[in-house]
Structure 1
Amino acid sequence: MPAANIRGYVVESLLARGYDEPFTLYGLIADSVATDPGRSHVTFTIHPKARFADGKAITPADVIFSFDLLRDHGRPLFGIYYGKVTKVQAIDDRTVRFDLAASDDRELPLILGLMPILPKHATDAATFEDTSFSPLTGSGPYRVSAVRPGESVTFTRDPHYWGRDLPINRGLWNFDTVKFDYYRDGNTYFEAFKKGLYDLRVETDPGRWQTAYDFPALRDGSVVKEAFPYGLPKGMQGLVFNTRRAIFADVRVREAILQLFDFEWINHNYFFDLYQRTASYFDGCDLSAHGVAANARERELLAPFPGVVRDDIMAGVWTPPVTDGSGRDRKALRRAFDLFAQAGYGLQGTQLVHRASGRPFGFEILTTTRDQERLGLAFARSLRRAGINTQVRNVDATQFERRRITFDFDMMDYRWEQSLSPGNEQLFYWGSEAADQPGSRNYMGVKSKAIDAMIAAMLRATERPDFVAATRA
């Protein structure tokens, strides 16, 4: 099941987030934390009352065990994060210290504070990576009380939870039972909501938002439909080029394909004109470089990498291409053909081919939901106007996940969420090392010394202007 459901409810970390702040942590399993101005080390002291659900006290041995286990057998991002630690040791029966001298990473103490803590005595390292229906033992306010594979997971509140009176837990964990239901597709999921089978829904489909919320429970007030703004970056959803594929290696080819994506037609016909075009991974906040000319600090950071960022982006004037919304924009098609020609492609009859080799140009769009498939088919129609043979392959969630984590796709739909405090996770998204690490989110396969250097500058920044400049750069 998703880690997001286990974290917090069942398994806790040394520190916990305050969600009304960008990245501020408060004591949970640890009741104190200490570091030096250079953040070359961090020391956590475990709360004297901290206990796992089986009553065993949490010790430094459990913290060190969890660190080693997640670094060596956890998700790839744990290996990236925890690999920066030079040494970890128990100072006494409540205190554990991490040495970070070589990391040059000011965020790392916070990342370690969010490490899930698992019981050494109740966790088998040899089978940790195996799929299992046996619940984890944690220290959180809930225990896993029922598992129905493929259907639901139920948590029951632990009446003996050790941390009930901690300040960070005030007002939380009020329900005796929390049940997570799982559905195979979006339509079934929505129909279950209409029948009252679950209580809270976040709607992500503009079409459904506009047309489907007209049912008895909403009309009689039992269901409340509400839209509200939020202050986080808007994230980025799009079709990902896998540049590990030779067909997408040339940036001119990728830009030509971008010209053929008719956002205006899709937004009007599928999404009721409710979407805005994404132009940055940090749209909607001061970390976005879109529409902002590079300042002196950003230019200084990028100076060792001349030409790596286009002039129109540096000048703050670049925008995504705009079509006439007809679905048959000839100007966009002409721009695409010009770029394809520069990259060595041309039409042979009605088919786009590589002129030197005669190889037809074509690729596959991988999808797993009906909404993704509908978007892929619309894009494929536009691509065929340019002589590009595009196949849309819709697969089940298990196959999609397997192909995604092994980068076995040409193009796929994905969404990156961002926060107001980007940090180490950016290495997992765009870092050169992550490009070759199965399970990372560097799906496009980018390898860039400039990107690696900007992430490093972000992680060592001590002042907000330097942090913003590195993120924009």
Structure 2
Amino acid sequence: MRFVVSFFFVLLFFGMFVNAQTYSGFALSAQGEIKYRNFKHFDYVNPNAPKGGHIKQYALGSYDSFYNFLPKGVSVKGLGLLYDTLMVRSFDEPSSQYGLVARQVQRAKDNTFVIFHLDENAHFNDGKEITAFDVEFSFNTIAKGDNPSMVRYYADVKDVIVVDKYTVRFNFKNNKNRELALILGDLPILPKHYYQAVDFNANLLRIPLGSGPYVIESFDAGRSITYKRVEKYWARNHPTRIGHFNFDKITIDYYENDAIALEAFKTGKYDFREEINARNWTLGYNGIALKNQDIQKQEFLHFLPSGMQGFVFNIRKNFFSDRCVREAIGLAFDFEWSNKNLFYNQYTRTKSFFENSEYASVGIPLGAELELLEPFRRSLPQELFTQSFSLPQSKGNGDNRENLKKAQALLKEAGYSLKNGKLQKDGNPFVFELLFVSPEMERVVIPFQKNLQTLGIVMQLHRVDVAQYVKRLRSFDYDMIVGVFPQSLSPGNEQAFFWGSEVAEIKGSHNYVGVRNSVVDALISKIIQAKNHKELVISVRALDRVLLWEHYVIPHFHTKTFRVAFWNFLEHPKITPIYEVGFETWWVDSKKLEEIQKKYPNFRR
């Protein structure tokens, strides 16, 4: 399972009014409106897309697990193809979900429970029907298992009750978590009959059974995996599935690093890649296939929050516990120079944890946001109330002296001094390690390292493989990392995983920084308990402002487009969804594939 995208949802009153205590419907929305009512399919699909073809994708590193809800191992890419969920979201609305395994949902008006009514046609890929007992088993396995993130994610569920074979009820511990019913809608359904006697940890490569559109056909552990389309997939004619999952087979090959993977793509070893590297996008695809337009490059504008990528401090380390020190180190990162010389001016500096969304804080806190923050004034940096947050800027010519002077002053304020060109405090030199995975990141970190040397700080660079990186992240065994905090279209419970004090010392949580801040905790509670969209926006902006002023992360950069490259036998719908690339709606043009294979004898070999 990839990061579980979380939404702050309120149930849309749509469909039959059941009684005075519940609302009932087949659709859920955070915004109170849904786009699709009596619909045959989503607008961004081609309902007549041909089925067929064997496509190849890529991944980096390796894998050793088919169970992404466990805290062990590195999960293989693509596991979401195996499992259906109670609800699914559309890709052209900010936060709407529609019933899949659940044909209808009832939610208490006072938000104390939710009831899912299952589609009696739903079945697993071995032919066994999906029942409420499977939903109960799935919840108990995932939400009460060994993964601390999942346990915390579902912590506000009091219990699960099987009402009858096709009806399951979840009771809540309180009515404050307005998003909880929708979190449950994201629940992947596991087959109880298949797993109830299985020790998941005994064999992480035991092939899973699901109810989704694909099954695992074959795999070479750590190197590749092939998924095969289920011809008699139970939901193949479901409105939320028409036009999706058109490839007969999907093979994912693993590569040691992205440089090798890019070269493999250009020679036709795989078919599609979403490019995140600006240099690659500008220069890396040059070759005969691109010149002949057999490789296509396209950019799709999106409206997704960019989230936050950056250099992440582990404030569990004493040398990063001082906010002044963190701010000083941030002044040594020269984004303008990097953007000009490394990224071909393709990026924009990220200035918010909720960049590219209405949740990003701006200016100084005013009105309701100020009222929310006022009780915490003594616990917050006073500049937060009087200044707009800004990141350091340079002229991009390599001269970062003004920012480094400011950094020196902050370090002196924190008790550090230079001795023989080395920054130290209490006789201890300032030395720390940056842990990262991608070799492409070295181009970014080496200039940063040199600026820190000017300050007398030694930043040691340590690049590791994906497996080591995941292991060290789970145990907080690092000083600084290159980390990512993805954001959903409607922030909610996941903020507690990122910043909550309760998970700061729980290994496997996503509180990589080690934040234990009572103000942050209070604001997270406000977000989770927000009664309406306006209150949510105010609460998230306040949290954003506090996180920025605490300098927990040195922000990187982002782009507002999906950059994709693909061999031109792949086709996609005319309408592209604004919140996803939507690759699951693409298909193969078999005639074009034959032409490609004739033109390039080494294609796929």
Q: 496, 500, 518: which is aligned to 1:449?
A: 518
Shift in Å, 1:311: 4.4
Counterpart check, 1:330 vs 2:401: yes
Shift in Å, 1:125: 6.4
Shift in Å, 1:150: 2.1
Amino acid paired to 1:292: G
| Alpha-carbon separation, structure 1, partners of 2:344 and 2:273 | 20
Report which of the two has the higher share of helix: 1
Structure 1 residues 117 and 311, CA gap change in structure 2 (3 angstroms): same
Partner SS for 1:16:
strand
Aligned counterpart, 1:121: 193
Aligned counterpart, 2:220: 148
Partner SS for 1:182:
strand
Q: 120, 136, 141: which is aligned to 2:208?
A: 136
Contact 1:62-1:119 within 8 A present in 2 as well: yes
Amino acid paired to 2:530: A
Shift in Å, 1:166: 1.4
Aligned counterpart, 1:158: 230
Contact 1:73-1:128 within 8 A present in 2 as well: no
Counterpart check, 1:6 vs 2:79: yes
Structure 1 residues 314 and 182, CA gap change in structure 2 (3 angstroms): farther
Structure 1 residues 337 and 453, CA gap change in structure 2 (3 angstroms): same
Contact 1:84-1:103 within 8 A present in 2 as well: no
Moved more, 406-415 or 392-401: 392-401
Counterpart check, 1:189 vs 2:261: yes
Counterpart check, 1:55 vs 2:127: yes
Shift in Å, 1:335: 0.7
Counterpart check, 1:431 vs 2:508: no
Counterpart check, 1:78 vs 2:150: yes
Moved more, 366-375 or 308-317: 308-317
Amino acid paired to 2:243: G
Aligned counterpart, 1:226: 298
| Alpha-carbon separation, structure 2, partners of 1:180 and 1:4 | 8
Structure 1 residues 446 and 401, CA gap change in structure 2 (3 angstroms): same
Shift in Å, 1:472: 0.2
Amino acid paired to 1:340: L
Amino acid paired to 2:518: K
Structure 2 counterparts to residues 25-36 of structure 1, below 5 A: 25-36=97-108
Contact 1:352-1:361 within 8 A present in 2 as well: yes
Q: 462, 466, 469: which is aligned to 1:400?
A: 469
Shift in Å, 1:372: 2.3
Partner SS for 2:526:
helix
Task: Give RMSD over aligned pairs.
Answer: 1.7
Q: 418, 421, 443: which is aligned to 2:490?
A: 421
Partner SS for 1:347:
strand
Shift in Å, 1:294: 1.7
Partner SS for 1:305:
helix
| Alpha-carbon separation, structure 2, partners of 1:10 and 1:224 | 29
Structure 1 residues 405 and 10, CA gap change in structure 2 (3 angstroms): same
Amino acid paired to 2:431: G
Aligned counterpart, 2:420: 349
Shift in Å, 1:235: 2.0
Q: 300, 315, 322: which is aligned to 2:371?
A: 300
Q: Unaligned 5+ residue runs, structure 1?
A: none
Structure 1 residues 126 and 295, CA gap change in structure 2 (3 angstroms): farther
TM-score of the superposed pair, with normalisation by structure 2: 0.75
C-alpha distance after superposition, 1:81-135 (max 9, x if no partner): 2221112111111111000142510101000111111111111565223552221
Counterpart check, 1:274 vs 2:353: no
Q: Unaligned 5+ residue runs, structure 2?
A: 1-62, 64-74, 543-605
Amino acid paired to 1:262: D
Aligned counterpart, 2:536: 467
Amino acid paired to 1:36: A
Report which of the two has the higher share of strand: 2
| Alpha-carbon separation, structure 2, partners of 1:331 and 1:157 | 59
Shift in Å, 1:428: 1.0
Aligned counterpart, 2:580: none
Counterpart check, 1:390 vs 2:459: yes
Contact 2:149-2:510 within 8 A present in 1 as well: no
| Alpha-carbon separation, structure 1, partners of 2:491 and 2:91 | 15
| Alpha-carbon separation, structure 1, partners of 2:89 and 2:490 | 12
Contact 1:81-1:108 within 8 A present in 2 as well: no
Shift in Å, 1:398: 1.3
Shift in Å, 1:4: 6.1
Shift in Å, 1:184: 1.3
Q: Which has the bigger relative contact order, CA under 8 A and spacing at least 6?
A: 2
Contact 1:366-1:413 within 8 A present in 2 as well: yes
| Alpha-carbon separation, structure 2, partners of 1:96 and 1:372 | 47
| Alpha-carbon separation, structure 2, partners of 1:381 and 1:92 | 65
